Structures are given as structure tokens and as C-alpha cells.
């Protein structure tokens, strides 16, 4: 039923639109706090390292929650899991806005990360299951939600943050409450999966060399990614949250364009491995330039915006690499990969803050480390090059593929799906 494409990918049932709207708001959370990091540090008398814990608590809890999302969703079903995730986000985002200390906000961001993990882990499959006009149209809609969310997050954060640092948190809570109501009333009841996933499966999957290797690549790359995202606002010399939001909006637009449009085309022409080698190398150079000129705000701003192109490409193709050669079911591979890579993303901004406070006030070293880390990611990726080449030729068989996987195998938009596997 989902194989016949619609005239327009945007002709979908209201249930699909409800989940897509929630996806936009959820993806906004990636860059939402960037424009208010300096404001938080100043108004709450916090150090940059303490402020960076906003990323660390959110992403580390998201990583840990990835180990249980499959277990939860296989028992509750997709709709109940989505609702649980949305409720948690609404509550903890509001509590973060009500908090009066940096420690309180960090703690509530951790709860937010738990809700986000439950929601993101289930949203793509829910959109596909609810679409009534073709798998391709559902995926395009999902990718559009991803792109809009990434680009709008810093803008909304900047606009609301210019009123009060509490504004972005209350804004997300309010928007997610609207998404929650829409999901409850518009999304049909979804069946509980026949097979119950075991809690041990995501960690046990690391025994497979291909999955463990590509997950380490994801960890190294995300270390570099979140060093840039988390610490660069302190180097731009911009106090106005709206202007900071505009910078990261430019970054987000490039992330979205390269994720959805450029990366799949480059993959088809050059292959997954070669495209990633090039993107990793260019990202490493970009990070090194930011590190060298960390005291020159104009260079930092341009470097951050340009990095969106490399990050967009990497986001799509690293996930493609994981999903194409992992010898386990897609939900398990996704949970394993999400757990490992978000650990790197969560720790990187905090470590950058510690380094700067300890002995590098001009913040050269964190970006040099990030440049080396992403270069090492390319080296690690090369150890599974033959498996990636086989996957590009369609020679890698996936075990016990789900309905989503079988439909995907008949659909030409396979690169774009990888972006949506942000979980």
C-alpha cells in the first residue's frame, strides 16, 4: 500500500502531520540552546564549563536511554511510546524554564533527553506506518521536518532568548504540548510488535566488528561535531542571542541541504567510504582553522557556518554506513549506534570547557583535538571499507528485515532515510 508514490509528498493524513510537527520541534532542540549559552553564563553566574553541561546531561542521558527504547516500544507500541516521550519533554522543558540555577537546568535537560530518546526512536517508523501515499513521500516529509527543525532551532532560541533565557525552554514545552495533543487525537492506535526486544540486545550487538567499528566512527565524529556546536558560541564575540541564532541558522540550513540533497547524490556517485573520507578531511581542516584563529570572531563565524556542509554530509552517511553493514536488526543497530555516538557528543563540550579553564583560555586546543578526532574517524572507517563497498553494491543481506526495511529496499530514497535515523 505504501509503495505507490503520491503526486505530492505533502499529501498525507493528519496523523502524519501531527508526528512531523513534533519532529520539527524535537529537532529544534539540537541548536536551541546555542544562542543563550552566553546569556545563561552571565545571568546565572556560571562558568562556560558549567553551561556546557546542558549538552552533556541531555546527550549522555539520550545515549543511555537508547539502550532501553527498543525494549519499551516493543511492549507499549509506537503511539504510547511517542506519547510517553512527548509528555516527558513537555514537563522537563517547562521545569528547566522554571529553574533558578544552572544545576537545576542541567538536571532537567537530562530528563528532556530521556523523552527525546523515546520520541526520536519511534517517530520515523510511525510516520511511515501512518502514511497513505507512499513510503517515498513519508520519508521526504520526515526529512523536511528534520531540516526545518535544525534551521529553526537557533532562530527560535535567539528570538525567545532575547526576551529571557527562560523563553526557549518554555517555547519548546508549549510547542511540544500542542504536538502531544495532536498525537493523542490524530494518530490511530498502533499495534504492539509481535517480538519483544530484550534489554541486553543493544550492548550484545557490539560483539559484531562492523557495528562496533562504525559506532566508534560515530563517537569520534560526534566529539568533533559537538565541540563545534557547544563551544564556538563563546568565541564569536556576539552578545545578542538573535544574532547568534542567525549564525547557527546559516549553519543549520547547510546541514539540512547537504543531509537531504547533496549527501545521497555524492554517495551514489563516489560511494559511501570515499564521500565520508572527503567530508571528514574537509571538516578536520575547518576545525583546525577555527582552532588557529579562535581569537578572531569573523573566522570562527564563517568556519561554523561552512561546517554545516560537512556535518550534513556526515550525519547522513555515517548512519548509512552503520545501518548498511550492521549484521543485526535495524532497531537494535540504531540503538547501539545511538548509545555509543551520543556518549562522544555529550562529553566533548564539557571537556572543551575544562581544557579552556585549566590552561588554554584562547580555546585553541579543543578545536585541534576535534580536528584530530575526526581525522582518526576516517582512519577507523577505512578498516571496514570493503564492507561499505559491498553494501554500496547491494551485496550485504540484512537479517530478519522488518516491514519498514522491506519497503525501503524497493524505494530509491535510501540515503535520505539515514538522516531520519538520528536516534
Given pLDDT bands bounded at 50, 70 and 90, which one contains residue 399?
Answer: low
Alpha-carbon distance of 17 to 80, in angstroms, equals: 17
CATH number of 198-395: 1.20.1250.20
Burial, 66: exposed, middle or buried (Cβ in 10 Å; 0-12, 13-18, 19+)? Answer: buried
Model pLDDT for residues 26-59, shown as the tens digit of each residue: 888 777 788 888 888 888 888 888 888 888 888 8
Question: φ, ψ for residue 188 (rounded to 5)?
Answer: -65, 160
Instruction: Assign residue 45 a region (left: φ > 0; alpha: ψ between -120 and 50; beta: otherwise).
Output: left
> Which of 1.10.3720.10, 3.40.50.150, 1.10.10.60, 1.20.1250.20 would CATH assign to domain 13-190?
1.20.1250.20
Given pLDDT bands bounded at 50, 70 and 90, which one contains residue 415?
Answer: very low
The model's pTM: 0.83
Model pLDDT for residues 159-214, shown as the tens digit of each residue: 888 888 899 899 889 888 988 888 888 888 877 777 788 888 889 989 988 899 99
Is 152's pLDDT higher than 60? Answer: yes
Residues of the chain with CATH 1.20.1250.20: 13-190, 198-395
Helix H or strand E segment including 93: helix 78-98
Is 414's pLDDT higher than 50? Answer: no
Is 131's pLDDT higher than 80? Answer: no
- The residue ranking higher by pLDDT, 390 or 420, is 390
Burial, 397: exposed, middle or buried (Cβ in 10 Å; 0-12, 13-18, 19+)? Answer: exposed
Is 295's pLDDT higher than 90? Answer: yes
Do 177 and 54 form a contact (C-beta atoms < 8 A)?
A: no
Amino acid at each position: 500500500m505504501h509503495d505507490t508514490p503520491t503526486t505530492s509528498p505533502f499529501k498525507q493524513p493528519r496523523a502524519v502531520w501531527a508526528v512531523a510537527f513534533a519532529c520539527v520541534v524535537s529537532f529544534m532542540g539540537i541548536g536551541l540552546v546555542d544562542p543563550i549559552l552566553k546569556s545563561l553564563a552571565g545571568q546565572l553566574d556560571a562558568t562556560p564549563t558549567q553551561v556546557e553541561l546542558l549538552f552533556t546531561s541531555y546527550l549522555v542521558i539520550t545515549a543511555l536511554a537508547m539502550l532501553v527504547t527498543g525494549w519499551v516500544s516493543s511492549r507499549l507500541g509506537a503511539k504510547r511510546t511517542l506519547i510517553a516521550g512527548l509528555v516527558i519533554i513537555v514537563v522537563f522543558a517547562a521545569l528547566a524554564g522554571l529553574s533558578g540555577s544552572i544545576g537545576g537546568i542541567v538536571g532537567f535537560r537530562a530528563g528532556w533527553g530521556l523523552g527525546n530518546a523515546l520520541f526520536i526512536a519511534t517517530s520515523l517508523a510511525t510516520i511511515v506506518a501512518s502514511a497513505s501515499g507512499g513510503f517515498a513521500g513519508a520519508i521526504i516529509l520526515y526529512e523536511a521536518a528534520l531540516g526545518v527543525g535544525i534551521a529553526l532551532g537557533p532562530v527560535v532560541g535567539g528570538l525567545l532568548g532575547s526576551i529571557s533565557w527562560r523563553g526557549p525552554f518554555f517555547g519548546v514545552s508549549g510547542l511540544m504540548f500542542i504536538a502531544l495533543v495532536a498525537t493523542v487525537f490524530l494518530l490511530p492506535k498502533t499495534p504492539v510488535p509481535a517480538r519483544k526486544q530484550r534489554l541486553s540486545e543493544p550492548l550484545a550487538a557490539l560483539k559484531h566488528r562492523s557495528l562496533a567499528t562504525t559506532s566508534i566512527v560515530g563517537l569520534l565524529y560526534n566529539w568533533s561535531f559537538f565541540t563545534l556546536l557547544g563551544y564556538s558560541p563563546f568565541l564569536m564575540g556576539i552578545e545578542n542571542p538573535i544574532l547568534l541564532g542567525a549564525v547557527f541558522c546559516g549553519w543549520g540550513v547547510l546541514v539540512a541541504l547537504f543531509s537531504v540533497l547533496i549527501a545521497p547524490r555524492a554517495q551514489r556517485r563516489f560511494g559511501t567510504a570515499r564521500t565520508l573520507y572527503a567530508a571528514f578531511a574537509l571538516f578536520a581542516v575547518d576545525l583546525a582553522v577555527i582552532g588557529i584563529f579562535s581569537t578572531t570572531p569573523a573566522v570562527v563565524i564563517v568556519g561554523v557556518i561552512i561546517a554545516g556542509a560537512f556535518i550534513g554530509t556526515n550525519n547522513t552517511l555515517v548512519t548509512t554506513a552503520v545501518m548498511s553493514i550492521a549484521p543485526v536488526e535495524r532497531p537494535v543497530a540504531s540503538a547501539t549506534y545511538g548509545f555509543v555516538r551520543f556518549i562522544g557528543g555529550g562529553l566533548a563540550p564539557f571537556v572543551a570547557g575544562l581544557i579552556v579553564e585549566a590552561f588554554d583560555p584562547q580555546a585553541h586546543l579543543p578545536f585541534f583535538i576535534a580536528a584530530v578526532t575526526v581525522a582518526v574517524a576516517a582512519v577507523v572507517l577505512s578498516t571496514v571499507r570493503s564492507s561499505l563497498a559491498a553494501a554500496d553494491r547491494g551485496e550485504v543481506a540484512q537479517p530478519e528485515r522488518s516491514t519498514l526495511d522491506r519497503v525501503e529496499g524497493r524505494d530509491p530514497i535510501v540515503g535520505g532515510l539515514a538522516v531520519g535515523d538520528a536516534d
